[in-house]
Amino acid sequence: MKNNYVLLFFLCAAIASCRKPVADTSPLIGTQAAANRAALSASVIFTNALPSSDNGSYYDPWVITVGGFYYYCGSDGGRLWITKSATLQDILLQPKTYIFTPPPGTGYSAELWAPELHYRSGRWYVYFAADDGNNANHRMFVLEGGSNANDPLDGGYVYKARLSAATDRWAIDGSPFDFNGQQYFIWSGWEGTTNVSQYIYIARMSNPYTISGERVEISRPDHAWEQVGTPTVNEGPTALISGNTVNIIYSASGSWTNDYCLGRLTCTNGNLMSKSSWTKASSPAFSRFGNVYGPGHASFVKSPDNIQWWIVYHAANSDGSGWNRRVMAQQFSWDGNIPYFGYPIEKGIPIPAPSIGPNYAMPIANGVYRIKSKVTGQCVDVPDGAPTPGLQIQQWTDNGHAAQKWNFTSLGNGYYKITCVASGLNLDNAGGLLTAGNILIQWTDNQNIAQHWRVQDMGNGYFKLINRRSLLALNVPYSNQTPGTKLEQWFENQYDAELWQIIP
């Protein structure tokens, strides 16, 4: 059974599908729009899935940023390739540079899967799974490339080694990482010699192309949300490290099902080689929503300005399409040292591209503004300007009162603190809840991320305000035109009820 949060999550999704757009009643036009726009810079808008040059199926996306460019390392099953792009959203439109075609008759001649590109110990390496034409013989292998840290395409790639632990079993989806001066390798494998279930394993490495010692199991599919499909699956592990906390984001359930999803393991004591050191989140970290089915096998990059965090993942092209998949991308946030991905933003929803400078990540200059709804023409308002912590935020007729004036203060990390001038209290996601429909209140400044807001410039003088804790948007419920309507947070969508003018 899914836990209550997951059930509530999908109930809210069902409600969202019933909400209807309402015609815009208060557009800014002409020179007035130019005068009132508060944005410093606006990112390009794109929609998922990411376009590709051949409109083909893409899977197991591995993306890194190097020297101001994005690099995608992929496979067509028989060859490995890399693309290079100045923008994340266009990365699959760029020409492919084929870096490796295996010779026939080897243990790595067929079914090349999930390549990952890493710069380690002064050289570039590509880690991939392959076999001899028999899936039962899948193992991990590594290519070695050039030494130019700023360009993974400077120099060719040659076969370097097979990576095997002391217990040599079926293995795919390998990924290396370093922690506290030690090199590690994580992958998905079988416990025995038959395909019963896929577990996540970890082992130490003595160099970028050698596993040293025995493997240790750190995860197996033991929750219901990990057990959809047969055989049961944990795969695609990737490390996300923050301080002394190591998070491993992995894929769970059958990749051919709609319920393929991401899970999270976390270790905080530094003893990575002990299964007891790892805590598994009890619910999925990222799972199907709306028209996004089977989201999984993710990689993680920052925006070109090093401010925003982005998750790049694959999802099924449609309900039930299984391995016919495309690549998608969206922002995520951190709650302390734990990543929070929210929910998949549905295909076709406008998204600002990764920011290329602070004025893109934080497009509003510090100052006092009114926040005016596109759909109702009313302003975000503290009732009577009362300085009462916990008072619910409403919309009200634009009247110029201090209760409708909000001081935006950039936190320098892509988020703002938004403080009511009349009350001196902050716009807050009540209780820091993750659920759509949760109320918004004013509260004493407490440094909690429930009081942090991302400002997304959606173009034409309108913005979305996204709560850092929930990754949900400031919304007028059902586009209600009634003054005094209490405001909420809701899933990002294409409706005007989430669009706001930010007016000096």
Q: What tens digit of pLDDT does each residue of 52-72 get?
A: 999 889 999 999 999 999 999
pLDDT value for 39:
78
Q: What separation in angstroms does the CA of 24 have from each of 31, 32, 70, 381, 492? A: 19, 17, 38, 20, 18
Annotated catalytic residue, options 111, 131, 235, 488: 235
Report the DSSP pairing between strands 171-179 and 182-190: antiparallel
Integer Cα distance of 283 and 242 in angstroms: 21
Q: What tens digit of pLDDT does each residue of 122-148 get?
A: 999 999 999 999 999 999 999 999 999
Q: What tens digit of pLDDT does each residue of 158-196 get?
A: 999 999 999 999 999 999 999 999 999 999 999 999 999
Integer Cα distance of 489 and 476 in angstroms: 8
Integer Cα distance of 2 and 283 in angstroms: 8
Task: Give the whole-number percent of the chain exceeding pLDDT 90.
Answer: 91
**Span 93-97, average pLDDT:** 98
Q: Check pLDDT > 50 for residue 11.
A: no
pLDDT value for 38:
64
* CATH T-level topology, domain 4-40+362-503: Trefoil (Acidic Fibroblast Growth Factor, subunit A) (2.80.10)
pLDDT band at 24 (very low <50, low <70, confident <90, very high): very low
Q: What separation in angstroms does the CA of 91 have from each of 1, 189, 410? A: 39, 30, 30
Task: Give the whole-number percent of the chain exceeding pLDDT 70.
Answer: 92
**Span 470-498, average pLDDT:** 98
Q: Is 34 exposed, middle or buried (0-12, 13-18, 19+ CB in 10 A)?
A: exposed
Integer Cα distance of 144 and 336 in angstroms: 36
Integer Cα distance of 10 and 81 in angstroms: 38
Q: Which CATH class is domain 45-179+209-217+275-358?
A: mainly beta
pLDDT value for 18:
37
Q: Is 488 a catalytic residue?
A: no
**Span 442-467, average pLDDT:** 97
Q: Residue 56 is encoded by which pair of tokens? A: 């083909």
Residue 371: which of 384, 380, 381 has the closest Cα?
Answer: 380
Domain ranges of the chain: 4-40+362-503, 45-179+209-217+275-358
**Span 78-84, average pLDDT:** 98
**Span 100-114, average pLDDT:** 98
**Span 96-116, average pLDDT:** 98
The torsion defined by the Cα of 339, 340, 345 and 349, in degrees rounded to 10, comes to: -80
Cα(first)–Cα(last) distance of the chain, in Å? 50
pLDDT value for 112:
98
Strands (E), 12-133: 45-46, 62-66, 69-75, 80-85, 97-100, 110-120, 123-131
What is the CA 258 to chain-centroid distance, rounded? 18
pLDDT value for 40:
83
Q: What tens digit of pLDDT does each residue of 364-376 get?
A: 999 999 999 999 9
Same fold, 4-40+362-503 and 45-179+209-217+275-358: no
pLDDT band at 41 (very low <50, low <70, confident <90, very high): confident
Q: What tens digit of pLDDT does each residue of 210-264 get?
A: 999 999 999 999 999 999 999 999 999 999 999 999 999 999 999 999 999 999 9
Q: Residue 493 is encoded by which pair of tokens? A: 């969508």
Q: Check pLDDT > 60 for residue 7.
A: no
Q: Is 492 exposed, middle or buried (0-12, 13-18, 19+ CB in 10 A)?
A: buried
- Check: CB of residue 437 under 8 Å from CB of residue 429: no
pLDDT value for 422:
98
Q: Is 194 exposed, middle or buried (0-12, 13-18, 19+ CB in 10 A)?
A: exposed
What is the CA 249 to chain-centroid distance, rounded? 11
Annotated catalytic residue, options 60, 346, 492, 498: 60
- Check: CB of residue 188 under 8 Å from CB of residue 200: yes
Count CB-CB contacts under 10 A for residue 376: 24
The kind and range of the H/E element at 34 are helix 30-36
Q: Is 132 a catalytic residue?
A: no
Count CB-CB contacts under 10 A for residue 359: 17
pLDDT value for 31:
31
pLDDT value for 28:
33
pLDDT band at 350 (very low <50, low <70, confident <90, very high): very high
Q: Residue 86 is encoded by which pair of tokens? A: 């100045």
**Span 39-55, average pLDDT:** 93
- Check: CB of residue 442 under 8 Å from CB of residue 389: yes
Work out the widest C-alpha separation in the chain, in whole angstroms: 78
Cα angle for residues 366, 371, 374 (degrees, 5° grid)? 135
Q: What tens digit of pLDDT does each residue of 441-450 get?
A: 999 999 999 9
Q: Check pLDDT > 90 for residue 25.
A: no
**Span 303-322, average pLDDT:** 97
Integer Cα distance of 37 and 53 in angstroms: 36
Integer Cα distance of 51 and 254 in angstroms: 25
- Check: CB of residue 89 under 8 Å from CB of residue 353: yes
Residue 128: which of 106, 95, 148 has the closest Cα?
Answer: 106
Q: Residue 90 is encoded by which pair of tokens? A: 């266009």
Mean pLDDT of the chain: 93
